[in-house]
Structure 1
Amino acid sequence: MIVVLGGRGYVGQAICQQLQQRGLTFQAWSRRDCDYSRPEVLLESLRHSGARFLINSAGFTGRPNVDACELAKAECLAGNAVLPGTIREVCEHLQLPWGHVSSGCIYTGSGGSGAGFTEQDTPNFSFRQNNCSFYSGCKALGEEVLDGAERCYVWRLRIPFGHVDGPRNYISKLLRYDCLLDARNSISQLDECAAAFVDCWQRSVPYGVYNMTNPGSVTTRDVVAMIRRHGLSRKEFRFFDSDEQFLQIAAKTPRSNCVLDSGKAIVAGLQLRPVQEALEWSLCRWRAEEA
């Protein structure tokens, strides 16, 4: 049996769908089901659940975007930096293997070689550089808390997208925003990444940190061109003139724009298609969010 913390969120639902499709027994826990922020509660709940693996997809992202974290710092710190440490403590006590959904937003840029940051590169968009959003800073702290964790996967998701319209979907956001920032990023097809998370456990992939992004990178203009070509929108998309203008007009805090190297995940046998192919697949199958 697998326990999914935060199983009713955007990422958690995709993970649960993968588990269901594979006929695996699982339970999706929200804070209402189990206050997993309290180690003694999580310990007893897991002890009685019969869990063989745990996936943590819980965290605090803020709505409608990470700007909200600047106004809810206590919640952001608790959900993204403290909670991973709590889960680590409990899982290591129970000798329970687990996986943590992290984020690639702890980097900015394309890495020293320009080919993308690897799992060995030190985060450069964090509190230690004093250049980041509060959300990114907390995510970086969450990874520090897990340094050296036993029987643990750390999966770095990055700007998730898919084929179903919804407020958390990157494609949906591009369709709805009035003005866009053109930047180059690695992004993650959510269903593929959710499948890769489960594959890590089922295939006994070595524990450790994995950049879970589709190989390659795209610019905002690249994705907009694909959206128009697939007929999802005929509007004239507008773009900010610069990062500075974006921060002055549309954002309260700096954004992470980065390229990650997903080579380690590919070598491990995890199925992540090239980003252009994954985008084409999602846009060809685009549909409205189910009520």
Structure 2
Amino acid sequence: MKVLILGKGFIGKRLQESLKCNISGRQIYSFKDAEEEIKKYNPKIIINCVGDTGKRNVDDCELDKDTTLFSNTFIPIILAEIGLRYKIKLVHISSGCIYHFDYSKCKPLKETNLPDYYDLFYSRTKIYAERAL
């Protein structure tokens, strides 16, 4: 099966090493950019590893909200639309930084848990994408 990983960050590179598939680090600034890159590879599956985590850490996302919002919220929505148009499956890698975890209770999170951590702008952008997808 033809797989394309978008995003050459830590997770994207590790997945590419494991899956031995195509990976693209192209900067995506628009629907057109994403569509062109995907058409170039013609995948059956897209794994989205694109995301902004700030320069030093997710706290830095507060300093560049435009980039964070576009990378973490709009790109996943764009990829979902492209997936629907071209019948390509989308796997979206999100974040664990969308849950308020109570270490004193130490209960494992479940897939059914709803995001509940809104303290960071980074987390909110990830939650917006989760809800949209």
State the alpha-carbon separation in 2 of the partners of residues 45 and 63 from structure 1.
25
User: Which residue is 2:86 aligned to?
Assistant: 94
The one of 95, 103, 124 aligned to 2:95: 103
User: Which residue is 2:57 aligned to?
Assistant: 65
Q: Deviations over 1:251-271 (max 9, x none)?
A: xxxxxxxxxxxxxxxxxxxxx
1:41 aligns with 2:28: no
- Greater RCO structure (CA 8 Å; 6+ sep): 2
TM-score scaled by structure 1?
0.42
State the alpha-carbon separation in 1 of the partners of residues 101 and 86 from structure 2.
39
User: Which residue is 1:84 aligned to?
Assistant: 76
Q: Which residues of 2 match residues 104-123 of structure 1 at below 5 A?
A: 104-110=96-102, 114-123=106-115
TM-score scaled by structure 2?
0.88
Residue segments in structure 2 that go unaligned for 5+ positions in a row: none
3-state DSSP class of the match of 1:121?
A: coil
Q: CA deviation at 1:101?
A: 0.8
Alignment length (residue pairs) = 131
Distance 1:48 1:31, change over 3 A: closer
Identity %: 29
- Indicate if the aligned counterparts of 1:57 and 1:101 stay in contact, CA closer than 8 A: yes
State the alpha-carbon separation in 2 of the partners of residues 121 and 84 from structure 1.
21
**Structure 1 vs Structure 2 CA RMSD:** 1.9
State the alpha-carbon separation in 2 of the partners of residues 50 and 109 from structure 1.
39
Which structure: larger Rg?
1
3-state DSSP class of the match of 1:103?
A: coil
User: Which residue is 1:3 aligned to?
Assistant: 4
Larger relative helix fraction: 2
Residue segments in structure 1 that go unaligned for 5+ positions in a row: 21-25, 127-131, 147-291
Q: CA deviation at 1:9?
A: 1.0
State the alpha-carbon separation in 2 of the partners of residues 73 and 50 from structure 1.
32
Q: Deviations over 1:230-270 (max 9, x none)?
A: xxxxxxxxxxxxxxxxxxxxxxxxxxxxxxxxxxxxxxxxx
- Indicate if the aligned counterparts of 1:61 and 1:76 stay in contact, CA closer than 8 A: yes
